[in-house]
Amino acid sequence: MGSTYDGSGTNFALFSEVADKVELCLIDSDGAETRIEMREVDAHIWHCYLPGIIPGQRYGYRVHGPWDPHQGLRCDPSKILLDPYAKAFDGKFDGDASLFSYDIDNPDERNTDDSLGHTMLSVVINPYFDWGSDRLPRHPMNKTVVYEAHVKGMTMTHPDVPENYRGTYAGFAHPSIVKYLKDLGVTAIELMPIHQFYQDDRLHELGLSNYWGYNTFGFLAPHQDYAAAKKPGAAVSEFKNMVRAFHDNDIEVILDVVYNHTTEGNHMGPTLSFRGIDNAAYYRLVDDDRQHYMDYTGTGNSLNVRHPHTLQLIMDSLRYWVTEMHIDGFRFDLASTLARELHDVDRLSAFFDLVQQDPIVSQVKLIAEPWDVGEGGYQVGNFPAIWSEWNGMYRDTVRDFWRGEPATLGEFASRLTGSSDLYAANDRRPTASINFVTAHDGFTLHDLVSYNEKHNEANK
């Protein structure tokens, strides 16, 4: 799936069960477009092989098919669509009205303006990289100290990081950063989202940008703006060099991944990729109102993990980051959403089954944020045996004890000794609990013990 360079040319493959026709669109350096109809179709996979197409080639898709939003059908060939399997992206979204399949001023009317020139583009990459003697450190969980960090925030003002590397993967791998982490005794760095993400329209209008990155769409691509090298596709090798530098210093790299939703939002969001390729396959739609999306995440949509091709995308992404990018583990944002088969969270869901039996993914660190915003979403203690969990009860109990709340000593002791009330019933070890007091949600530890109310006045 996606674009695959073999040294002589590139194979392109895209899933769509609803498409009538798919066009591969090659975009040259001045923005000119060449359309190639993909005539080969096998099991809903549209594919073609083009000799001579090399890394750095920018491309997108136009998917022709039914347009009936009330039935959940949103094919729109006027939009250049991003490849869900692209391993790199180039360009910017400029917020133009052409990114939307409806008229901004009259939402009941369709908008067929061409989005070319206003959207990002997928990029063919060079998959070859010399890893040398790189190996995964594989620290046991009971010896693991995780440090959560943001690629840009960790390096942007660091005086020892060269200015041209600040805010980048290259800067994150700088010896001064690595030494700081080793001096702290850190054994694993957990990166806040580095999958390619979208700059929200509201922030764009305000002249701001999405700092946190929990708004992803490129599940196989490192975020391009975190690369010091600006050549299309260069983020991939820069990211690999960063991972190798951490491994050389016996530090694991864990990714915070957001597979529960995408950047396209609700029915009023833009048509950038999944929505225009096969809306009903990729998204959970309201059963009796298929124009609208189920939202267990508070973002406007939820990925349809009941569909085999959506599950395949998630699993292919996980395997890619382990096998090709040498990642040591994953922290799953709002992981309960991935376990919703119908509406309830199901620890026997297909997603957990696939992870459990996968010979690659099951062997790395798997950490759940064990809740979402849907009914019954709080699932601390209920994930399968090979998973660890952010222990929200540990966080809350330690904070209460710290503040001197009455009647917390007994529970504090329970949390500090492994939370057996949460994990012992299904024979999970204390290492199932990721003990933390603060994370990116809310105050830093310094602010937590300094302020009673929010004081981030700069973040309006």
Token duo for residue 103 = 């008229």
Q: Which two tokens stand for residue 34?
A: 């060449």
> How many other C-beta atoms can be found within 10 angstroms of the C-beta atom of residue 351?
22
Q: List, by residue number, the catalytic residues.
A: 333, 369
* DSSP letter, residue 356: H
| Nearest partner of 414 among 386, 441, 394, 432, judged by Cα | 394
142 to each of 301, 393, 429, how far by Cα in Å? 36, 19, 10
CB 269 within 8 A of CB 300: yes
Beta strands in 227-363 (DSSP E): 252-257, 285-286, 289-293, 329-332
Beta carbons of 192 and 256 less than 8 angstroms apart: yes
d(CA 266, CA 430): 39
* Separation between Cα atoms, residue 243 and residue 266, nearest integer Å: 35
For 198-251, where are the E strands, in sequence order? 216-222
